[in-house]
Each structure stands twice: as structure tokens, then as C-alpha cells.
Amino acid sequence: MYRSNVLVCGGTGCTSSNSELIIKRLQEEIKAAGLEKEVNVVRTGCFGLCALGPIMIVYPEGSFYSRVTPEDVPEIVEEHLLKGRIVRRLLYQETVVDDNTVKSLNQTPFYSKQHRIALKNCGVINPEEIDEYIAVDGYKALGKVLTEMTPQEVIDTILKSGLRGRGGAGFPTGRKWSFAAANQADQKYVCCNADEGDPGAFMDRSVLEGDPHSVLEAMAIAGYAIGATQGYIYIRAEYPIAVKRLQIAIRQAREYGLLGKNIFDSGFDFDIDIRLGAGAFVCGEETALMTSIEGKRGEPRVRPPFPAVKGLFGKPTVLNNVETYANIAQIILNGPEWFSSIGTEKSKGTKVFALGGKIQHTGLVEVPMGTTLREIIEEIGGGVPNGHKFKAAQTGGPSGGCIPASLMDTPIDYDNLIAIGSMMGSGGLIVMDDTTCMVDIAKFFLEFTVDESCGKCTPCRVGTKRLLEILNKITSGNGTLEDIDNLESLCYYIKENALCGLGQTAPNPVLSTLRYFRDEYVAHVTDKVCPAGVCKALTNFVIDPDKCRGCTLCARNCPVGAISGSVKQPHTIDTSKCIKCGACMEKCKFDAISKR
């Protein structure tokens, strides 16, 4: 029996900022202090507050240490673990109250507004230890389903809960399962889409790293509901920690007989294998994903037939996203009424968002559907840093769109986001401030889709390329008003004619920025100005001769020798040589250089 638990985040974010070394040092120091029988060091999944990593929580006090370095470890062991004195300088400042007391993490703005269902166990249990998952009621839902419920009752429960697919499109999960269950076949499959491809989204990775058994359990439940005996998890090879923990989890579940033959003595067999993806964005599209599992080139095909009729190896298949599966066991245990009491009328439950971009608290948050963008960004996320102003938020990655500041109070759910020209997508939420050029953002996402288009259908292969060319023309200052109109009509053409979701949604970033920030496009074309000062071709650096003291610092730092002038005389920039790197502006101590 340990008297204290030290939880250290072993998610990808904290691991890359050295949490492995912290764990090693902790174990060494604890051993040196003779505390190894009293203090248990646990490597957990992601806590969500990635901006403050590496993160450590010491229980039973619940002290939340942020930005811990390996050098801090001896002090934590000596002071906190040995003598019981909390190391205040390392505490997350939001947990320290003015009267010098420490409040619990759940009372801080970042956590108090969250409602964790899919992320319930992330940062709480050791993902490499099946016993810890079982200790928090893991596999109880599978046991209940196999011993007390019929497959139809399972499907009815999921239908009644109102759960919709968390991968982006928001199709009701229960209906997907009932279609697959209704189709008779000698073999059916359950697949898990862990090919999280949106730039900026990482909730699926976090669930797999922090709570892999929840996905295995849910896949087995889905298998029982539709009559499948084999599952596949299709995961990107770029997620090595998640892959490793999944492998460990599958091995442990097999050892316990929670995967394999005759689970819970019910006669139900189910096993799961992992398939690694090579990181192609298109393989997140369901038909391309299944083609890739079959060992063929990952290209989408025309639907119908839908996977529930003809999926993997031509058999009825259910394919759900990681986050969708992470909700299943909780729905079975707590009942569909509990789940449907959370959220909005048509979007039930919670959604995980990956906060990124110009925001204080970069990280992972799970909020009830219907929470407004303002609550997520200003209250939970801590707002835009460095005194800048919020301009727009991008949801749904390359398939989604921008939400401008004027729509910040829209309650976020599937239907509201579609109505304002964006989409839920997998839940990436990139915050942009007034230094972001919206044309440049559209260009960024188009560059991504041009790279990732599989090339099977012409509207996507050629169309996205033409879109990008027009955007390049506009940002280089050669655009015309006619280009903007062409851009728009080409967007609609691609939307209507592309084969799969990738192409159909690729124009969204352009369309939504045109809808809310058309004036920026026009400024690029008619005034030849980039209002945010991002597009290099339309930006010039100039030195204000009244402010310049002739210190020569800018000239010495200019990488291309574009700045000339003699000592103590105002300098000038030769715009024909200037590469607009901004080094001079950064170095100037007199604020004499500005963008125009």
C-alpha cells in the first residue's frame, strides 16, 4: 500500500519536453530517500494542459506542479515526499489562492468548465496497467453487455443516447451499428479510425495514449452488437507512443481473456489487431481507410455501397472514430438518459477540442456540446496572449472553416457549425489573432489539401491545385477582382463534384474566409496591401528617419545587406534587395522600423 501517488504525464507533449527523464530521476531519488515502498510513481496519459508541461500531480494532496524540469526532482522528493512541504514555486499558479492556500485543480478555470467523459481516465490511470483501468470500472460495461443484454438492446441504448460520430461528419452511431447488424454475412468487422490527420488535432492520440482500454472495450461491445468477431485499429505510424500502449493493452486484455474466445463465458469471440497507416490524410476517409487495411493503395471509392453493407474485404463493417468509442462504455454504465441529458437538442454529450494557435493554454479540453466559442477561448483557454485581439477561430482543420469574432457566442454543436460555414471536424480549434492574414490561412490549408489529394478524381486533383494558384496570385499582389469570383465558383464546383470527403470539404477554408473576410481579399487585390502584414510581396519595411538614431544595428543584422546608411545618420532599406524577413524590425531598439 502506497501512501502517496506521483502522477507524471507521459503524453506526447510532455514526453517531448523530457517527462521520461523526470520519471527516471524521480524513481532514483525516491529510492535514494528510501521511500520506494511508500511512494508510487505512475506514468499517465495526457492531462490536457499541454502548454504547462511537463506536468506532475502528487496525491493525496493533489498538488499540481507545472513546467517541472529534471533538476526540480530532488527538491520535490526532499521537500514534498519526505517532509510533506509543498514546493510552492512549482505549483500551477491558478491553483494558488491569494490567501496562500492551494485549491484543487478542478476549481481552476481551465478544468472547472470541462466535463470529461471521453477523457475521464486520461491523466488519472496508468495506461499500461489493465488493473488500473479495471479499478475505475473498466470492462464492466462489456461484462454487462455480454451477460445481461441482447445485441439489439445494446444498439437501442446507443441510439437512445443520441451519440453522433466524433470524427467529423456527426452521423448517429447507433444507426450505423443497426445498419451493420441488419446485414447478414458470414463475417463482419469492427474498425477504429485512429488516422487522425487534421493539423492541430490530437485528441484521438491522447485517448489512445491515456486510456487505450476504453477503445478496446467499446470495439468489443460494437462487435457484439453487430455480430463481428474481428476488429482492426487503423492508426498512424507517426503516433509511436499510442501504438506501443495499444499493443500493451491488447496483450493484457488477451491475457485476462477480455479479448479472445468465449469472453465472460458468453460464447462471444472477439479479437483486435493493429494496422499502421503511413500518414496519408485521405486514409482518414472511411472507404480509403478500409482499402488501405486490405493492403491496397489508400484511395476512396464511390459510396454507396456504404461500409455497413459492403466494407472491409467486402463484408459489413462498422467504422467509428477513437473519441466516439471512448464514450461507449460510459453510456452503457450510466444509461442513455444520462448521456442525452448533456449537450444540445441534436448534439448530445461532450466534445473534445484541441486548442492551438494564439491562445494562452494550448491543450486538450472536453466541454458539453453547446458551450460557446467565447467560453472555450476566453475562460478555459485563457484568451489570446501578448495583448493581441482575437480575430477568428478555425475549426475542423483543412475541411472546416473560420468563425469570426462576431460569432463567438454561437453555441458549438454539429448543426450550428455547419450553419455558419464551418464544421465540427475532429475538433481541432486553432485560434488566430490580428497578426493573421486570412488569405494566407486559406492558402496554408489549400497547400495541405493539394499535397494530400490522392489524385483519383479530377475535381480534387486539379481543382485544388487551381485554387492554390489563384490564392498565390492574390497573395503575390497580381490578383484581380475577377480572380476572387473565379475562386468562389471553382470552390462550389469542387464541393459538388469531388469523389470523397477530402475533396468535397477542401474548399471550405476558402469559402468561409471569403464569407467573413472578403474585404481582406479585396485589399490584397485592389489596394495591393496585406492588412495583417503577413504576405511578403505586399509588405514593405520602412525606416522612420525621425526615429532612426543611426545605431547601425539593423544594417549589421540584415542577412542580405539591404540596409545602408552611415553612423548616426538615418538608414534606408533597399526594397529591391529586401527579403522581408523582419530581422531589422525585431532588433531595432528605437521602434523606428515598421511594416507598410
* Residues forming the site for other proteins (CB under 8 A): 1-5, 7, 38, 40, 57, 59-62, 82-85, 104, 106, 124-125, 131-132, 134-137, 139-140, 143-144, 147, 256-258, 263-265
> Among residues 2, 125, 135, which one has the least CA distance to residue 57?
125
CB of 528 to other proteins, least distance (A): 59
> Among residues 127, 132, 130, which one has the least CA distance to residue 252?
130
In this complex, which beta carbon is closest to other proteins, that of residue 223 or of residue 343? 223
In this complex, which beta carbon is closest to other proteins, that of residue 137 or of residue 345? 137
CB of 55 to other proteins, least distance (A): 14
CB of 585 to other proteins, least distance (A): 49
In sequence order, the β-bridge partners of residue 492 are none
Contact 54, 20 (CB under 8 A): no
User: In angstroms, what CA-CA distances link 561 with 405, 545, 564?
Assistant: 41, 19, 8
In this complex, which beta carbon is closest to other proteins, that of residue 32 or of residue 135? 135
- Provide the 3-class DSSP secondary structure of residue 540: coil
CB of 412 to other proteins, least distance (A): 28
Q: Could you give the strand order of the β-sheet that contains 4-9, starting from the edge strand earlier in sequence? A: 39-44, 4-9, 56-59, 63-65
CB of 339 to other proteins, least distance (A): 22
| Alpha-carbon torsion (82, 87, 92, 93), positive or negative | positive
Determine which helix (DSSP H) or strand (DSSP E) holds 107, and give its type and residue range: none
CB of 388 to other proteins, least distance (A): 37
What gap in Å lies between CA 578 and CA 423, rounded to an integer? 40
- Provide the 3-class DSSP secondary structure of residue 330: helix
In this complex, which beta carbon is closest to other proteins, that of residue 7 or of residue 51? 7
CA angle (313 as vertex; 307, 180 as ends), nearest 5? 35
In this complex, which beta carbon is closest to other proteins, that of residue 113 or of residue 549? 113
In this complex, which beta carbon is closest to other proteins, that of residue 38 or of residue 238? 38
What gap in Å lies between CA 436 and CA 31, rounded to an integer? 50
Contact 8, 56 (CB under 8 A): yes
Q: Which residues of 570-589 are buried (b: 16+ CB within 10 A; e: fewer)?
A: ebebeeeebebeebbbeebe
CA angle (418 as vertex; 426, 336 as ends), nearest 5? 65
Helix H, strand E, coil C: the string for 125-139 is CCCCCHHHHHHCCCC
Amino acid present at 585: M
In this complex, which beta carbon is closest to other proteins, that of residue 257 or of residue 385? 257
CB of 221 to other proteins, least distance (A): 14
In this complex, which beta carbon is closest to other proteins, that of residue 254 or of residue 346? 254
In this complex, which beta carbon is closest to other proteins, that of residue 136 or of residue 581? 136
| Alpha-carbon torsion (339, 344, 345, 347), positive or negative | negative
CB of 262 to other proteins, least distance (A): 8
In this complex, which beta carbon is closest to other proteins, that of residue 86 or of residue 522? 86
CB of 237 to other proteins, least distance (A): 31
CB of 2 to other proteins, least distance (A): 7
Determine which helix (DSSP H) or strand (DSSP E) holds 141, and give its type and residue range: helix 140-148
